[in-house]
A and B are shown apart, each in its own frame.
Chain A
Amino acid sequence: MKRNGVLLALLLGAATIALIAIGTIWPIPSALAFAGGQGLRPAPTTPEIAVRNLADDIKTRSWGRAYGSLANKAEFTQAEFQHDLTGYYQSLRSYAELDHYDVRPLHQSADDAVIRLDLYWSTMMGTSESTRDVHVVRNGNRWEAEWPLVKKPVVPPQVIPVNYLRWDVIYPTGGDDWGEQGVEAPHVRIIDMHPVQRAEGVVILGELLNEDVVPAYVSVDATLLSKDQKPLGTEGSFDKIMHVLLPKQVTPFFINFPNAQLSDVGSIRMTPFSTLVPASADPVIGIDSQHLNPVPNPSLTGNLINQSGQVVNVAHVLGTFYNKNGQVVWVADEYVDRALLPQTPVPFKIHIPEDLARSISSERTVVATYSTGGSV
């Protein structure tokens, strides 16, 4: 009996240790997620592992460990390294988390290598991608990454003349329903609209014009009606539109009906909404070096230039693409995840579906902005 007991104790003890070891060496997915994507941290015996370890540290925001693992850490401080990734000024990246990453070796020799690190950030406005080519060097039997730091942009001292239009609205009650002022809504008009069948569902593209002489908050809802005029579903433009339109300004809109079939649709009911709001033309965002890139990888690229004296924390670039007849064939957008400093170009890139790219002959770009009111 005593022997059985000893055996049982040893068996249970061994099973406990073995199961813990299995769970730690080969973690289950949920455990892996909390451990930052990988289990036991492997020694950086290859350039790829060194970059993966670095990316895992970035993912878990282990800044001290990430910085400590760098070969070129003497060239910058940990704070600079951290701000290079999260932004020097408040932006979408400030609150973003690294969702996942990819590494691809570009070059390797006995003592150094270059690894491309694609970082996919989860931001408030969706996924944002950034790429760094990381130089990795051998140090004994370990490999260490050299971080390609992008230095904080320095804005020279200058005077920016502020000369822009602004519309204020005097509210009769000072109430919190800012859109219900008891005045006639600004006149807006849909100047172009047509539905497109895409793999993910039906998409409605179009443009909306503020015909009035006052600024307007706008949004567009669309209801798909079946052939017997029964509603199939209602969706709105959400953030695929510029919500505040100055007088005579045009915004594209994009409304998505996931899983819908155009063949089931008899008609579409469009419901534009507008109300009077205060607005200003500042900050003015210029677009420089704009270029339509052909297939493969069709895209619209360019630089945004903040022409005001204030920091723009988030910029939303909306591109409208037309065919040779001037009809809208696609609307696409991109959020710039870095703050726009005055007079400092920031690149943007809007992807265009390859099957539509060939029919595009012109485009128009508008930029919506969000600022917290900070300055450089």
Chain B
Amino acid sequence: MQKTEPIDSSQKPIPLSLILLLAVAVHLPLMLMKLPLKSYDTNFHIFFASHYLHHWFNPWNVKWYAGFSQATYPPLPQQWIAVISPLFGLEMGYMVVQFAAILLLVVGVYRFSRLWVSPRAASFAALATVFLGSESFLVYSAGQLGTTSAAPLYLNALPYMYVWVREGGWRPFLKATALFAAAAAAHHATLLFGSFFFALPVLALAFLDDRGEKPTVSGFVMRTLVIVGVTTAAIIVVLLPFWIALIHYPVTQTPIPHPSRANYLLSPQWGLNYFIVPYGALILALPFIFWRGSMVPKLRPLLFGFWVAFMLGLGGTTPVGPILLRRAFEVITMERFSYWATLLALPFVGLLASELVSRYRVKAAGALAVAAAFTCALAVSWSTFHPADGGTLGIDSNAVAAWLNRDGHNQYRYVTLGFGNQIARLGRLTDADSVDGEWNSGRMLPELTKNGGGSLTNSKYFGADGLRALRAILMHASHYGLKWVIVRDPSYDPLLAFAGWRPVDNLDDKTIVIWAKDGIPPAQPLNAPQMPPRWQGLMWGIFPFGSSIFAFLVLLIPDKRREEEMEQYPVHREESLLPGRMIS
């Protein structure tokens, strides 16, 4: 099997620097246009970053839910935004961090794909990353900074883990552990589910792979246990306040409906949103993935990882989600599984592209380029066709914030109605506190957790549950010092009128009406047991961010010997992989 032969120029991989340049060309203009601001969650991340900017060592944020702990969400990308915001500002800081994650993903996909396929196929996989529909969907429509920044860290860690479990050595061990810890600090769910979808296949590959010297069973098991143990310990330490919050206050609130749990055939509009757009032309590659993944024993672990993620990503289209995830199915959203599935599919896509280009040359390259461009264009433009902000982008949050910040209005709490995801932007701009928010897992107010509605500002979209939550919080307005209701949707007016509120002012050409209730006492800090103690605040400020600095430093340790070895690995010719190969 160990054949070394000169590489035909048509079999050369595409230089990674060229692929990165292409990623810059495609995504940098979109970032400079701040396109992600139109997404669901971008303002949410900036809101969190804004808090870290002002209160780095105190994760208790009083601006939402009358106080909640930001230690309920891994902080790494948001802390990076806060760190660089003095240079770029918060919004552009977000773009910088997101852009860095996109570039890192290209490298991560290349390195991950190299484990499974030839350098040339891996380079095609990396190239496909630039146009990946699910990446663009998460970046420009969903705004899932945590997921999109954790995945590249995780993918970059896996090759080090592969080397460690096969051969040992302190360098790959240190690098893998550091990158895993940093990935967890960016997004805990990526690490948790990534262990099953990404790490298990890589471990299986490390055990089965016939490249180089095969590890002994005992050595393999021992090294696997060591890296799992040390990584687990590192993650526990890095995110300790998060785990403490999760154990003391598990997410037991009434589930909030999310369309990613719909059946995509019965609800085709959601099938378009959560399947067609993220997968794009990759749908055409599905038969190849199933066929080639099954036929090549080495690729089977990858196929299994892909298949499970793919099935979960179908949301409520199959019963797999509720069976495997149990209650978690009702808590987490499912589009991230499609994202992971597409990342797992990329080595196959690289393989397919490599074979097609080798066989059909320019014709194949042209067709693939069109498919890639179409996929990327659809996903990027989706935020225009299907705006996540629900038309709220034009809200003059500055005017509302200015109103709340003047004349002592910020002595009272407020809630908005009809503001969509602009509440995060408003929350960042105003000094006043709200009883609403966008981080559902962090909220503890019983009026909100007992009812299955999301943000109060979107109450009516959650039907009877959402309106019950709104009524419940308005009923306890005196308790929360909730005097102001800022309304941009007149359908709420009757409720406010009959509940004793009166319009007192209007803003933005009378499109926003401020309602007030008399007799409400000024807001008082709530005595919340969820408030993290000071030592947890210090940990939260030091370890997650520190883990990324540490990972960066250990990556600077030269790895030359290993690189040389990798180059000496036999060129992974398609012939050795493929029964019924397509290369002429």
Interface residues of A (CB under 8 A from B): 1-2, 5-6, 8-9, 12-13, 16, 19-20, 22-24, 26-28, 30-35, 39-40, 92, 94-95, 97, 99, 122, 124-127, 175-180, 217, 219, 221, 234-236, 238-239, 241, 243, 273, 275, 277, 313-314, 316, 335, 368, 370, 372
How long is the Cα–Cα vector from A8 to B301 in the complex, in angstroms? 12
Q: How far in angstroms is the closest Cβ of chain A from B39? A: 21
Q: How far in angstroms is the closest Cβ of chain B from A370? A: 5
Q: Contact: B500 with A23, CB < 8 Å? A: no
B314 contact set on A, CB distance < 8 A? 20, 23
Q: Contact: B295 with A27, CB < 8 Å? A: no
Q: Contact: B502 with A22, CB < 8 Å? A: no
Q: Which of B146-154, B353-361, B371-379, B488-496 has 4 or more CB atoms under 8 Å from chain A? A: B488-496
Given A19-B319, A177-B504, A275-B519, A34:B295 Cβ within 8 A: no
How long is the Cα–Cα vector from A97 to B499 in the complex, in angstroms? 21
B384 contact set on A, CB distance < 8 A? none
At the interface, yes or no: B207 with Cβ under 8 Å from chain A?
Answer: no
Could you write out 19 A-B pairs with CB less than 8 Å apart?
A: A9-B295, A12-B290, A16-B310, A19-B318, A20-B314, A20-B317, A22-B319, A24-B266, A27-B316, A31-B315, A34-B259, A95-B460, A97-B463, A122-B463, A122-B464, A178-B518, A219-B519, A221-B478, A370-B498
Given A31-B263, A124-B492, A179:B519 Cβ within 8 A: yes
How long is the Cα–Cα vector from A273 to B491 in the complex, in angstroms? 27
Q: Contact: A27 with B291, CB < 8 Å? A: no
Q: Contact: A35 with B267, CB < 8 Å? A: yes
A26 contact set on B, CB distance < 8 A? 319
Q: Contact: B475 with A238, CB < 8 Å? A: yes
Q: Contact: A125 with B495, CB < 8 Å? A: yes
Q: Contact: B516 with A177, CB < 8 Å? A: yes
A122 contact set on B, CB distance < 8 A? 463-464, 467
Q: Contact: B518 with A179, CB < 8 Å? A: yes
- Among the interface residues B320, B474, B519, which one has the most CB atoms of the partner chain A within 10 A? B519
Among candidates B296, B310, B463, residue contacting A99 with C-beta atoms closer than 8 Å: B463
Given A19-B318, A176-B516, A238:B500 Cβ within 8 A: yes
Q: Contact: B494 with A236, CB < 8 Å? A: no
How long is the Cα–Cα vector from A20 to B310 in the complex, in angstroms? 12
From residue 473 to 520 of chain B, which have CB atoms closer than 8 A to chain A? Answer: 474-475, 477-479, 490-495, 497-500, 502, 504-505, 514, 516, 518-519
How long is the Cα–Cα vector from A313 to B474 in the complex, in angstroms? 22
How long is the Cα–Cα vector from A368 to B463 in the complex, in angstroms? 25
Q: Contact: B519 with A273, CB < 8 Å? A: yes
Give 20 new A-B contacts, CB below 8 A, not counting A9-B294, A12-B290, A124-B460.
A8-B300, A16-B307, A20-B318, A23-B314, A24-B263, A24-B266, A30-B257, A31-B317, A34-B261, A35-B263, A35-B266, A99-B463, A175-B407, A178-B502, A179-B519, A217-B500, A238-B474, A241-B500, A370-B494, A372-B490
Mask of B402-415 contacts with A, CB within 8 angstroms, 1/0 = 00000100000000
Among candidates B258, B493, B498, residue contacting A368 with C-beta atoms closer than 8 Å: B498
How long is the Cα–Cα vector from A95 to B318 in the complex, in angstroms? 33
Given A31-B267, A34-B262, A178-B502, A94:B491 Cβ within 8 A: yes
Q: Contact: B307 with A12, CB < 8 Å? A: yes
A95 contact set on B, CB distance < 8 A? 460, 491
Q: How far in angstroms is the closest Cβ of chain B from A252? A: 14
How long is the Cα–Cα vector from A180 to B412 in the complex, in angstroms? 15
From residue 236 to 287 of chain B, which have CB atoms closer than 8 A to chain A? Answer: 255, 257-259, 261-263, 265-267, 270
Q: Contact: A217 with B316, CB < 8 Å? A: no
A175 contact set on B, CB distance < 8 A? 407
Among candidates A32, A316, A335, A370, residue contacting B493 with C-beta atoms closer than 8 Å: A370
Q: How far in angstroms is the closest Cβ of chain A from B399? A: 14
Q: Contact: B316 with A31, CB < 8 Å? A: yes
At the interface, yes or no: B579 with Cβ under 8 Å from chain A?
Answer: yes
Q: Contact: B318 with A124, CB < 8 Å? A: no
Given A27-B316, A221-B478, A236-B475, A34:B502 Cβ within 8 A: no
Mask of B302-327 contacts with A, CB within 8 angstroms, 1/0 = 01000100110011111111100000
How long is the Cα–Cα vector from A314 to B494 in the complex, in angstroms? 7
Q: Contact: A124 with B266, CB < 8 Å? A: no
Q: How far in angstroms is the closest Cβ of chain B from A270? A: 14
B295 contact set on A, CB distance < 8 A? 2, 5-6, 9
Q: Contact: B263 with A34, CB < 8 Å? A: yes
At the interface, yes or no: B212 with Cβ under 8 Å from chain A?
Answer: no
At the interface, yes or no: B366 with Cβ under 8 Å from chain A?
Answer: no
Among candidates B407, B497, B516, residue contacting A178 with C-beta atoms closer than 8 Å: B516
Among candidates B262, B477, B494, residue contacting A31 with C-beta atoms closer than 8 Å: B262
Q: Contact: A125 with B519, CB < 8 Å? A: no
At the interface, yes or no: B330 with Cβ under 8 Å from chain A?
Answer: yes
Q: Top 8 closest A-B pairs, CB basis?
A: A31-B316, A179-B518, A9-B294, A31-B263, A34-B262, A5-B295, A35-B266, A95-B491
Closest to A314 in B: B494
B311 contact set on A, CB distance < 8 A? 16, 19
- Among the interface residues A2, A19, A313, A368, which one has the most CB atoms of the partner chain B within 10 A? A19
Q: Contact: B475 with A235, CB < 8 Å? A: yes
Q: How far in angstroms is the closest Cβ of chain B from A244? A: 9
At the interface, yes or no: B297 with Cβ under 8 Å from chain A?
Answer: yes
Closest to B474 in A: A238
Q: Contact: B319 with A34, CB < 8 Å? A: no
B317 contact set on A, CB distance < 8 A? 20, 23-24, 31
Q: Contact: B266 with A39, CB < 8 Å? A: yes
Q: Contact: A34 with B316, CB < 8 Å? A: yes
How long is the Cα–Cα vector from A264 to B285 in the complex, in angstroms? 68
Closest to B518 in A: A179
How long is the Cα–Cα vector from A236 to B521 in the complex, in angstroms? 14
Closest to B519 in A: A273
Q: Contact: B257 with A33, CB < 8 Å? A: yes
Q: Contact: A34 with B267, CB < 8 Å? A: yes
Among candidates B498, B500, B514, residue contacting A125 with C-beta atoms closer than 8 Å: B498
Q: How far in angstroms is the closest Cβ of chain A from B579? A: 6
How long is the Cα–Cα vector from A190 to B322 in the complex, in angstroms? 54
- Among the interface residues A34, A175, A217, which one has the most CB atoms of the partner chain B within 10 A? A34
Q: Contact: B498 with A2, CB < 8 Å? A: no
How long is the Cα–Cα vector from A238 to B479 in the complex, in angstroms? 13
- Among the interface residues A12, A19, A32, A217, which one has the most CB atoms of the partner chain B within 10 A? A12
Closest to B502 in A: A178
B297 contact set on A, CB distance < 8 A? 1, 5
Q: Contact: B294 with A30, CB < 8 Å? A: no
Q: Contact: B318 with A23, CB < 8 Å? A: yes
Among candidates B263, B499, B514, residue contacting A238 with C-beta atoms closer than 8 Å: B499
A31 contact set on B, CB distance < 8 A? 261-263, 266-267, 315-317
B315 contact set on A, CB distance < 8 A? 31
Among candidates A12, A19, A370, residue contacting B320 with C-beta atoms closer than 8 Å: A19
Q: Contact: B519 with A9, CB < 8 Å? A: no
How long is the Cα–Cα vector from A70 to B479 in the complex, in angstroms? 51
Given A2-B295, A34-B270, A177-B504, A239:B290 Cβ within 8 A: no
Q: Contact: A28 with B500, CB < 8 Å? A: no
Closest to B316 in A: A31
Q: Contact: A124 with B467, CB < 8 Å? A: yes
Closest to B262 in A: A34
Q: How far in angstroms is the closest Cβ of chain B from A118? A: 16
Q: How far in angstroms is the closest Cβ of chain A from B509? A: 17
How long is the Cα–Cα vector from A179 to B501 in the complex, in angstroms? 11
B321 contact set on A, CB distance < 8 A? 28
Q: Contact: B257 with A34, CB < 8 Å? A: yes
Q: Contact: A28 with B319, CB < 8 Å? A: yes
Q: How far in angstroms is the closest Cβ of chain B from A243? A: 5
B307 contact set on A, CB distance < 8 A? 12, 16
Q: How far in angstroms is the closest Cβ of chain A from B13? A: 27
Q: How far in angstroms is the closest Cβ of chain B from A135? A: 29
B303 contact set on A, CB distance < 8 A? 12
How long is the Cα–Cα vector from A5 to B299 in the complex, in angstroms? 11
Closest to A27 in B: B263
How long is the Cα–Cα vector from A35 to B268 in the complex, in angstroms? 9
Closest to B504 in A: A176
